[in-house]
Amino acid sequence: MKPGKLTLTDLSAMKEHGEKIVMVTAYDAPGARLAEEAGIDILLVGDTAAMVVLGHESTVPVTMDEMLFLTRTVARTVERPLVVGDMPFGSFNVSDDEAVRNAIRFVKEGGADVVKLEGAGPSLSRAAAMVAAGIPVMGHVGLTPQSETMLGGFKTQGRTAAKARRLLSDALALEAAGCFAVVLEAVPTPVAARITEALTVPTIGIGAGAECDGQVLVYHDLLGLTEGRAPRFVKRYAQLAESIRTALTTYADEVRSGAYPAPEHTYGMPEDELELFSGAVASEVNSVDRSFQTDARAEPARPGSGTASGASAEGVEHAHGKS
């Protein structure tokens, strides 16, 4: 463990003292560095990477290898924040053994401190197996995007007494399976509040109200890198998409108009050196070895003509002074 790393004991002390836990997703080095500088406690290398970084329509397609690549990047960048590797769809669904094997990959190859997995049901024995293997696990119930189709879309969960009770028992079961924290996503505020009260481990809310022990948001959502309609719980603390678009448009305009680069962006050389250089230009141009220059410049090489440039092998060797 890196020195200064936030520990699981620190997290439970935060719950005990009513100190809010701050979590955000991170997928790359600049984002992770800025989050650490901002004092964020937990960085989740979320499978939302599939949508906000990799351009997929849902979280389902992201692979273990892609998640490991992103997790390594975040883990090597930060010291204090706890780094959570988010187990992608398919990495824990088949068996406890496979779940443990993939959780180990997150820790050994990805440098994650802990892992997160979605759901209860079969995820309970997966979580228990991973904890038994020495890997701390964060649970995740409520809206679990990997099961979006089964849940009938991105919908608030636990809006009836029966469903709320089910959520509570799932969260308690995850705690009993050894999870050190549980994410509650898109859950009515009073339900999340009761679950938070009932659990001894911290709850981290996303669309679950202010009474959770901590909050998590997706980096691209909170910075306004995603645009258009967002879920109700998203608060955009900046409008970075607009700033980036404006900057890129201005850059493109300036390159096309010649306004960029301006003298202050360029390098000069001493006058006397420049004079010497200018005098040498003509003779340098005239003395260029043009034996490489063949008709191929004007006429692409025909297949089977010997070399890519269309020159004979002998000609190339001769040009290098090897024959």
Contacting positions for ligand KIV (CB under 6 A): 25, 44, 46-48, 86, 183, 185, 206, 216, 218
Give the shortest CB-23-to-ligand KIV separation in angstroms: 8
Give the shortest CB-66-to-ligand KIV separation in angstroms: 13
Give the shortest CB-206-to-ligand KIV separation in angstroms: 5
Which residue of the chain is nearest ligand KIV when measured via CB? 46
DSSP structure class, residue 142: E
Structure tokens at 60: 């389902």
Q: How far does CA 244 lie from the centroid of its chain?
A: 19
Nearer to ligand KIV, 207 or 311 (CB): 207
Structure tokens at 144: 């679990």
| Contact call for residues 317 and 323 (beta carbons, < 8 A) | yes
Nearer to ligand KIV, 85 or 111 (CB): 85
Nearer to ligand KIV, 63 or 294 (CB): 63
Structure tokens at 162: 């029966």
Q: Residue 309, class by beta-carbon neighbours within 10 Å (0-12 exposed, 13-18 middle, 19+ buried)? A: middle
**Listed residue (149, 87, 157, 89) closest to 116, CA to CA:** 87
Nearer to ligand KIV, 46 or 110 (CB): 46
Residue 185 designated active-site: yes
Q: How far apart are CA 197 and CA 195, in angstroms?
A: 5
Q: How far apart are CA 309 and CA 301, in angstroms?
A: 6
Q: Residue 214, class by beta-carbon neighbours within 10 Å (0-12 exposed, 13-18 middle, 19+ buried)? A: buried
Selecting among 185, 271, 273, 275, the annotated active-site residue is 185
Locus of tokens 């780094």: 83
Nearer to ligand KIV, 11 or 216 (CB): 216
| Contact call for residues 167 and 134 (beta carbons, < 8 A) | no
Active-site positions? 185
